[in-house]
């Protein structure tokens, strides 16, 4: 596990650990936000044709079963037709990491997870059906 980054150290930690490119979204793309009544409603949205691409979603499954999701539209490239979005709950961040690092390993942009304050993890991820 990594240490908690404070507000004071956040910018320096990001610059040190993750240099960011100087490119933004194309002019026709924008970020949007939507609330969903359930995880299944969010999955139905993500997997509706054309399925939302990897790296273009930040979805958070809340403790009450609802989901808040930021997403890019229109998609840059639709998701590979041999993959889909799924969701799992994990009892701890360690269990979620074990899942992610098991074969086949999810690639960059194929995961959107939230470590909840009750110690559990809600994770949206892309995988073959």
pTM: 0.81
Mean pLDDT, all residues of the chain: 87
Q: Region 29-54: what's the mean pLDDT?
A: 92
Interatomic CA distance for residues 60 and 85, integer angstroms: 14
Long-range contacts of 19-27 (CB under 8 A, 24+ apart): 25/72, 26/76
* Alpha helices (runs of H) in the chain, residue ranges in sequence order: 10-17, 39-47, 93-101
At residue 1, the pLDDT reads 42
Whether residue 8 contacts residue 51, with contact meaning beta carbons closer than 8 Å, is answered with no
pLDDT (tens digit, 9 = 90+) per residue, 63-99? 899 999 999 998 888 888 899 999 999 999 999 999 9
H or E stretch covering 35: strand 30-36
Tell me which of 25 and 121 has the higher pLDDT. 121
């Amino acid at each position: 596990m990594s240490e908690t980054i404070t507000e004071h150290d956040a910018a320096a930690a990001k610059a040190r650990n993750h240099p960011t490119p100087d490119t933004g979204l194309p002019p026709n793309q924008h970020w949007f936000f939507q609330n969903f009544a359930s995880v299944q409603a969010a999955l139905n949205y993500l997997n509706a044709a054309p399925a939302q691409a990897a790296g273009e979603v930040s979805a958070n499954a809340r403790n009450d079963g609802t989901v808040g999701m930021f997403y890019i539209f229109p998609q840059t490239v639709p998701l590979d037709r041999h993959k889909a979005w799924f969701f799992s709950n994990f009892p701890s961040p360690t269990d979620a990491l074990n899942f992610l690092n098991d074969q086949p390993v999810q690639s960059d942009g194929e995961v959107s997870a939230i470590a909840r304050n009750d110690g559990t993890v809600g994770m949206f991820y892309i995988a073959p059906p």
